[in-house]
């Protein structure tokens, strides 16, 4: 983890200070992902099985949730199950209350334009697995989708070495009303959701975080003609912390390490106007990292970690907006006032008591957030992710007669005579 003085860096140095790990844009990775996707796209179920055997070590399986959840409730401690239930209640409540209402606006007397919302028919959910199956991601995806009214959720997750479903994933799935889960992961799972493979149906939209392979597969399938939509670019995790001298160095270090342990490609940054804070956080990171079980991932992420010294907290905000982090923690006095100056971030944790970890699990908002600077234009997963809006226009005969002439004039300004005549047909009909 490096300490960099922003004011001593030239333009190139500043770009490098805010650059993401190279793996995320690795051409070799992109080529490999596209090859997997195209094999599954062209070969269907047989190709999916071959890729799953090669990469996952097991063929895709459709696992029923109910028996796995029943067994999980015997294996997990009561407090663990209750914590999952608490998270599910908070997430469901937040997203149910966030559902947008239909609106109607009378733009002219007799001319009404409505916006109405409809749930997407079928959505694919990708739940990260591997060594640490992220049951929390299932809650963060499925519960907003349920609040939106999505009827068909096709859920995939990488297979476990011992087979079946992770107990916490099974309990979370049951709470979300999911009856079955396909155990298949990686780019091959994204391809199956995009184009369909065997009994896995094609979906209209794919949602969920993942590693660089999953993120690249999502971006690629979304770029194809007729390909499904995706929720957002959600790759390896990242956290940007702004801390002033009043922050607790041990807590700041703990927050940074909480993201570093996700993946060696994760990125954590601290911006502070205090040299003492920078030195103390660096010492705490080193001390705490040595005690963590996922040291390989932590050390890999720390190799790309930076502490940036700034001229002031306002300067740190400017840097954070330029970086556009997935997670932004404001470990400062009067954090609420600082929020008004934040423009680019997936989620903001305002004040020293707010913790990214609490947001990750049970605050209520989804932790599936844009990475790699996508927060400049994308929002995190929410109930809106699973909805689409339509406009509905209605006119009285009197209103149609009133606006047909102006509409025809506008059409002719663009050289579209048929458009103009279609508008005038309304006037002729009402005049007759």
Give catalytic residues, as residue numbers.
326-327
Largest Cα span, the chain: 86
Q: H or E stretch including 115?
A: strand 111-119
Residues 242/256, Cβ–Cβ less than 8 Å? no
10 Å Cβ neighbour count for 357? Answer: 14
Pairing of strands 229-230, 61-64: unpaired
Evaluate whether 148 touches 388 at the Cβ level (below 8 Å): no
Residue ranges with strand state E in 7-101: 61-64
Tell me how many helices (H) and strands (E) the chain has.
16, 15
Q: Compute φ and ψ for 233, nearest 5 degrees.
A: -75, 110
* Cross-strand bridge partners of residue 269: 240, 306
Half-sphere exposure of residue 357: CA atoms within 13 angstroms, side-chain side: 13
User: CA-CA distance, 152 to 159, in Å (whole number)?
Assistant: 22
Q: What does DSSP say about strands 229-230 and 152-157: parallel, antiparallel, or unpaired?
A: unpaired
Other Cβ atoms within 10 Å of 340 Cβ, number: 7
Give the torsion through C-alpha atoms of 222, 134, 189, 324, to 10 deg. Answer: 20
- Whose CA is closest to 36, among 182, 158, 191? 191
- The kind and range of the H/E element at 125 are strand 122-126
């Amino acid at each position: 983890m490096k300490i960099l003085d922003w004011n001593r860096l030239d333009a190139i140095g500043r770009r490098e200070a805010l650059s993401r790990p190279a793996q995320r844009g690795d051409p070799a990775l992109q080529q490999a992902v596209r090859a997997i996707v195209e094999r599954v796209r062209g070969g269907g179920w047989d190709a999916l099985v071959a890729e799953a055997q090669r990469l996952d070590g097991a063929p895709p399986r459709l696992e029923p949730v109910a028996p796995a959840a029943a067994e999980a409730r015997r294996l997990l401690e009561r407090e663990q199950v209750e914590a999952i239930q608490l998270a599910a209640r908070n997430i469901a409540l937040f997203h149910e209350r966030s559902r947008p209402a239909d609106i109607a606006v009378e733009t002219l007397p007799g001319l009404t334009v409505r916006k109405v919302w409809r749930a997407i028919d079928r959505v694919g959910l990708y739940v990260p697995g591997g060594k640490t199956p992220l049951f929390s991601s299932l809650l963060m995806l499925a519960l907003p989708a349920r609040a939106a009214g999505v009827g068909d959720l096709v859920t995939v997750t990488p297979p476990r070495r011992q087979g079946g479903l992770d107990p916490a994933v099974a309990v979370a799935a049951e709470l979300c009303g999911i009856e079955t889960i396909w155990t298949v992961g990686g780019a091959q799972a994204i391809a199956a959701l995009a184009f369909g493979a065997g009994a896995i149906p094609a979906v209209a939209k794919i949602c969920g975080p993942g590693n660089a392979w999953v993120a690249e597969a999502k971006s690629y399938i979304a770029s194809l003609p007729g390909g499904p939509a995706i929720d957002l670019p959600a790759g390896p995790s990242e956290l940007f912390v702004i801390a002033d001298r009043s922050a607790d160095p041990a807590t700041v270090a703990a927050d940074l390490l909480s993201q570093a342990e996700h993946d060696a490609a994760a990125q954590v940054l601290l911006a502070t106007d205090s040299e003492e804070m920078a030195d103390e956080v660096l010492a705490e990171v080193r001390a705490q990292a040595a005690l963590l079980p996922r040291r390989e991932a932590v050390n890999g992420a720390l190799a790309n970690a930076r502490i940036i010294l700034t001229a002031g907290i306002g300067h740190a905000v400017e840097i954070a907006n330029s970086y556009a982090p997935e997670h932004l923690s404001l470990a400062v006095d009067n954090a609420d006032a600082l929020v008004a100056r934040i423009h680019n971030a997936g989620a903001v944790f305002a004040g020293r008591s707010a913790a990214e970890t609490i947001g990750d699990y049970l605050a209520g908002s989804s932790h599936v957030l844009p990475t790699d600077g996508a927060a400049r234009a994308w929002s995190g997963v929410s109930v809106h992710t699973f909805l689409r809006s339509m406009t509905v226009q209605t006119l009285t005969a009197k209103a149609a007669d009133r606006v047909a002439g102006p509409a025809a004039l506008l059409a002719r300004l663009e050289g579209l005579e048929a458009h103009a005549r279609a508008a005038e047909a309304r006037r002729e009909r009402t005049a007759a």
